[in-house]
Chains A and B, each alone.
Chain A
Amino acid sequence: MNCYLRIDCISPDVLDFIKETTDIQGAILGDYTCNRRMFAGGYAGLIKNAGDFKLINKEIILQTPLYMTSRKFEEIIDGISFLHQEYGVKKFLVQDVGVLSMILKIIPDAECIWSQMGRNRGNVLNMDSVMFLKDQGLTGMELCSGSRISMLNACGMKAYALYGSIRYMTISRNCYNKCFHDRAICRIDCCNHSEVLTTETGKTITVDGFFLGKNYFYDDSPAYWRSVVDHCENLIIQCENLEETIYYYETYKETMKIYEQDFCSNSSIK
């Protein structure tokens, strides 16, 4: 199993953990246009991270941005080309069919994976959509549903099982608190103070950067793990910080042991 990490911030201690954990293949980096927690310096932060990963000989999967409009398109595509040439990046999480097409034009052997984040613009709910994306050159999909993992395998696509899928309450192009997403200038520092919105019905939601609240969902059901063990070669563990990373990485290792033992004992009975 290839294990990748997607963490909010690649701090030096996280980098050390990735370096020292031999069966962690690498990490997801990006999206640099909106993930200010990961890349305080924007694109420069991404380049720094790419250099760090090259030094420790770990793989990068680059998350391409959500809003690939004319304001960013050329810059992002140029950045992708540079990261490929200089740092050997050739796996990309995409969430836009046009971006998928453009990446394959400039890097024909790129591995493009449909991002779980792309569910807003191509929520892939049926086999015909999977086949359409495959025809466009997609090689894999990031998934958090056990049943879809086996469905994907059936049509020759690689499943990247997501352990810890993010659920946003909402995501906004322009933060409603006037944070300028596109220029990455946060005028009001509300997101760092975990401010809370209270609805008239008394429920609360948190302000978290450009998101109105998010949480991570870890599926520990037997059906999910059975699917992962049986149909997956790739797992992405998603969490916020090093402490959680260690916890969920160990949970994953323990769970895999149980299911692999189960698999071995079933095989010997046969």
Chain B
Amino acid sequence: MNYEVLAPAGELKAILPLIDAGANAIYVGLKGHSSRPARADLTLKEIENAVELCHANGARLHVAINGGIANDDFSEVKRSLSTLEKYGVDAVIISDWGMLKQASQLLNTTELHASTLLGVYNVETVRILKNMGVTRVVLSTNLFIDEIIAIMSGVPDMEYEIVADGGICYNDNRICELSHYVKESEYRVGCREAYYLNAESNTKVSIGSKAISLSEIIQAFAELGIISYKIEGRTIHYQDIIPHTRKLSEALKNTDIQKNVSALHYFKRTNMGDYP
């Protein structure tokens, strides 16, 4: 297998059904320190159980620590990193440069993944991440395909992950304050609401991106060498995630990747992502 279907779990009981549906890896959020509401996160104790469940069933467990980390929380999160490694967590997904640096010094066996929220847009940033010991970059959801190709051909000895299914941030990740503006403290994705363009207009427009599903075109990404295909939605009930997991898993099983021919070969040019 040269790919991974990475499914989200907002609760422990989601893990086994998702693995049954074809997930090769599960990701969860560290309670209070992920980019989703705490109700969709797991405590350290729950993560310990999640690791056992995943490993006993041949899957990996990744832990997202991709929320903002204030000074006051920094030591606590740092301690959690060591605990997560002790539990056997396969990878941590980090979006804070300071924490990434600490993790690169602290962790020995747990892989370091650069979160999509870190905003990786060019080869130069990937090179810095590689030097820090990061083994996987979760590509920004608003990169165009030629930009993905430029990054991958610039640093080929890195794993790359994409958001392959679910809601993506059409806008620039995390800068958007719309959700809080529209619904105040309630966790809602503001850009997915419908709006009237002009007060007098009867036409509603959606300003957000529709949920995506790359299953039908997964072959293209597989040939590029994308290794991990993430399904978005830790706040979504796992029973709604299962069909997406199954569909993506089936699509990947049916890909016909020519082992010696990489799509990158066709796109690699000296003037793309290879600035001296």
A interface residues with partner B (beta carbon < 8 Å): 66-71, 73-74, 77, 96-99, 101-102, 119-133, 136, 151, 167-174, 176, 195-201, 203-205, 212
Q: Are B271's CB and A74's CB within 8 A?
A: yes
Contact A128 to B121, CB < 8 A, known contacts A172-B171, A195-B198: no
- By secondary structure, the A interface counts as mixed
Q: Are A203's CB and B98's CB within 8 A?
A: no
Chain A residues, CB < 8 A from B122? 68-70, 73, 96, 98-99
B266 within 8 A of A: no
| CB<8 Å pairs between A and B, sample of 10 | A67-B121, A70-B146, A73-B275, A98-B121, A121-B118, A121-B173, A125-B69, A125-B71, A129-B99, A176-B205
Contact for A69 among B147, B177, B193, CB less than 8 A? B147
Contact A96 to B125, CB < 8 A, known contacts A71-B147, A127-B71, A173-B172: yes
Chain B residues, CB < 8 A from A119? 174-175
B interface residues with partner A (beta carbon < 8 Å): 68-71, 74, 96-102, 117-119, 121-128, 142-144, 146-147, 150-151, 170-178, 181-183, 190-191, 193-199, 205, 207-208, 271-273, 275
**Nearest CB in chain B to that of A197: its residue:** B195
**What is the bound-complex CA distance between A124 and B69, given in angstroms?**
9
Chain B residues, CB < 8 A from A204? 199
Q: Are B170's CB and A172's CB within 8 A?
A: yes
**What is the bound-complex CA distance between A67 and B144, given in angstroms?**
11
Q: Are B128's CB and A168's CB within 8 A?
A: no
Q: Are A136's CB and B128's CB within 8 A?
A: yes
Q: Are A97's CB and B175's CB within 8 A?
A: no
**What is the bound-complex CA distance between A66 and B172, given in angstroms?**
10
Q: Are A126's CB and B71's CB within 8 A?
A: yes
Q: How far is the CB of A93 from chain B (nearest CB, A)?
A: 16
List 5 A-B pairs, minimum CB-CB distance, nearest first: A121-B119, A128-B98, A98-B124, A70-B150, A98-B125
Chain A residues, CB < 8 A from B128? 97-98, 101, 136
Q: Are A198's CB and B196's CB within 8 A?
A: yes
**What is the bound-complex CA distance between A124 and B100, given in angstroms?**
13
**What is the bound-complex CA distance between A34 and B150, given in angstroms?**
22
**Nearest CB in chain B to that of A78: its residue:** B275
- Among A70, A125, A205, chain B packs the most CB atoms within 10 A around the CB of A70
Q: Are B147's CB and A172's CB within 8 A?
A: no
Contact A203 to B181, CB < 8 A, known contacts A71-B147, A171-B176: yes
Q: Are B147's CB and A120's CB within 8 A?
A: no
Contact for B119 among A96, A101, A125, A176, CB less than 8 A? A96
Q: Are B144's CB and A71's CB within 8 A?
A: yes
Q: Are B272's CB and A99's CB within 8 A?
A: no
Contact A125 to B125, CB < 8 A, known contacts A66-B172, A170-B171: no
**Nearest CB in chain B to that of A66: its residue:** B172
Q: How far is the CB of B275 from chain A (nearest CB, A)?
A: 6
Q: Are B177's CB and A168's CB within 8 A?
A: yes
Q: Are B176's CB and A170's CB within 8 A?
A: yes
Contact for A132 among B101, B190, B197, B272, CB less than 8 A? B101
Chain A residues, CB < 8 A from B127? 98, 101
Contact for B97 among A132, A168, A169, A200, CB less than 8 A? A132
**What is the bound-complex CA distance between A96 and B120, given in angstroms?**
8
Q: Are A172's CB and B172's CB within 8 A?
A: yes
Q: How far is the CB of B224 from chain A (nearest CB, A)?
A: 14
